[in-house]
Structure 1
Amino acid sequence: MIRTALTAAALAALALAAPSAAQTPQTPPAETAPGPNDWRAPDPQDILVIDTNKGRIIVEITPTTAPLHAPRIRELTRKGVYDGRTFFRVIDGFMAQTGDPLDNGTGESDLPNLPAEFTFRRGTDTPMVVADDQSVAELGFIGPVPVISQSSMLMPMTADGKVNAWGLFCPGVAGMARGSEPDSANSQFFLMRDEYPKLEKRYTIWGRVISGLDVVRALKTGEPVDPPQDKMTKVQLLADMPAAERPKIRVIDPKGPWFQAEIARNKALNGGHISPCGVKIPVEVK
């Protein structure tokens, strides 16, 4: 069975959520440039550098949202499984799929399938920066990935002191493809070209593109893609790259004042409610 991010039949049946009624926006505060204390240096073990024939894509891996899938991505990268793999299924307005050793959607690595991590448990030690407290739920960010969880007020009432949380499928988010069974993800993954909330709590999120979303959107489309297909020529972890070739990367810190001001701007532009996929996350790559 072809492992898909979503089957063609399901795609035809799903529609993006209709926009809410227009509201009169508040005047957003003026945007300023980030200062020295607004940046963070991501862990080199959590930076996936994907060189393609169309350009470079950089993904930050988020082990918190996928503690089993994150090590799998690292392991397959270090084994060279992703080198030369094609983007065999690319759908405009949706996602680009790759990571199949057979390059046709039917293959997998020689490692066992992984159990689903569609949601995760959030505790007081979870590195989530809350951007919007919605009483019954809290919306925020774990690194570059927007997430939503049950209210932290419920933590003392649960057996493990934690609540359910899950990532949002915004542009650039990296998810694991799977077959019809929830616990069937293996090596294939997809990068979101656009927002698609219908995938939430149905596919595992393991990171997000922090640089090169334009490359993801420039990939040749098709289901399947007609030859010649675009491909990942080389995939490496930043930690494994030779020092002379290693890009210097810094990402805006969700805990910093610039990001908090960006949240305020986002809310002002959206009638007082945050639009998580529209929150800017500046990145510098040198």
Structure 2
Amino acid sequence: MMIVPRTAALRLAIVSVLAVATPACSAETQESYADAAVAVSDAYPETAWRTVDPDNLMLIDTAYGVIGVELFPEIAPAHVAQIKQLTRDGFYDNVLFHRVIDDFMNQTGDGQNGDGTGDSELPDLPGEFLFRRSEAMDVTLVSTRGPEDSQIATGFYKSLPIATQPISQAILTADGKVGAFGLHCPGVTSMARTNDPNSANSQFFLLRGKAEHLDMQYSIWGSTVMGRDHLTDIKIGVVGEDGFIPDQMNTVRIAADLPEDERPTVQVLDTGSDAFTTWLSGQSYEDICDIAVPTRTL
């Protein structure tokens, strides 16, 4: 299974629906991820930091260190449930990063095939490309993307960058919610699939760069909150090409399954706090994908 390339026509068709367009993420921003938490860890009070629920924290051990991914069952419930089951079954242990593209993504999760052709024995998943956002899902808005009449804004839900309709429109909808979708920014995790939009199974990718052309076409289920700098340490290449020797996920665990004294405590600067607003005001960015929310591990 591979990430399916899309035609320019389809990309434009999808972009025109919500009037979304984004500039490229800068190399300087990419290099600053590892430093972001260090710079702010002691600058804000303890109350400004949100602790990630260990039951929604996926820990991927690599040769370079541990990558921690915050899971969002409220956004992609079926995908998170399957990811957790496969993790707890040991399916992802010793699985290769079989397709790694510079400034794009690290793809893995095909079991022991190791060449992108494998899946698990679990059923394929219906696409969860969009979600319905309630007022209880607080979002800190960063900017408006597209024309003034597009009524689509970007912001952070917890550690995840999203695009959303104004919550003020919820009063006009039957379910009291508005439409929203995750953004394929650096650090986001999303599900691989074939041409069939409902074919995701076990393969996923961790984004090294921005890939806005995948928005609303691939199911986002997580965001990297620990070891983000390791995303660009993974060796670049494709299994079967030019003698490429890939890196692998050594072990993959849900933090809650580890003994309490062995699990990391991962905290994210609360995007709903005054501290985050203050921190954000001092950042230079052109687009939400240029922003790496500060995190720390205790």
**TM-score, reference length from structure 1:** 0.85
- CA distance in 1 between partners of 2:217 and 2:252 (Å): 26
Structure 1 residue 48 displacement after superposition: 0.6
Change (3 A) 1:142 1:75: same
Q: Secondary structure of the residue that 1:216 maps to in structure 2? A: helix
Alignment pair present for 1:211 and 2:223: no
Q: Secondary structure of the residue that 1:48 maps to in structure 2? A: strand
Which ranges in structure 1 are unaligned for 5 or more consecutive residues? 20-30
Within 5 Å, give how 1:63-142 maps onto structure 2: 63-101=73-111, 102-132=113-143, 136-142=151-157
Which residue number in structure 2 is paired with residue 249 of structure 1? 266
1:170 pairs with one of 175, 181, 185? 185
Structure 1 moving runs of 4+ over 6 Å: 13-16
Q: Secondary structure of the residue that 2:47 maps to in structure 1? A: helix
Alignment pair present for 1:6 and 2:4: yes
Report Cα offsets for 1:203-232 as digits up to 9, x if no partner: 111011112222121111113364431000
Please, which moves more after superposition, 205-214 or 232-241? 205-214
Q: Which amino acid aligns with 1:98?
A: T
Q: Which amino acid aligns with 1:162?
A: K
Please, which moves more after superposition, 221-230 or 93-102? 221-230
Contact 2:238–2:244 under 8 Å retained in 1: no
Change (3 A) 1:229 1:133: closer
Structure 1 residue 10 displacement after superposition: 5.8
Which residue number in structure 2 is paired with residue 55 of structure 1? 65
Structure 1 residue 17 displacement after superposition: 5.2
Change (3 A) 1:14 1:147: closer
Contact 2:237–2:246 under 8 Å retained in 1: no
Which residue number in structure 2 is paired with residue 27 of structure 1? none
2:210 pairs with one of 192, 195, 198? 195
Supply the RMSD in Å over aligned alpha carbons.
2.5
Report Cα offsets for 1:78-136 as digits up to 9, x if no partner: 00000010000000010000011122111111110000011111122224333446771
Q: Number of residues paired by the alignment? A: 266
Which ranges in structure 2 are unaligned for 5 or more consecutive residues? 13-20, 25-39
Q: Secondary structure of the residue that 1:45 maps to in structure 2? A: helix
- CA distance in 1 between partners of 2:157 and 2:223 (Å): 10
Which residue number in structure 2 is paired with residue 151 of structure 1? 166
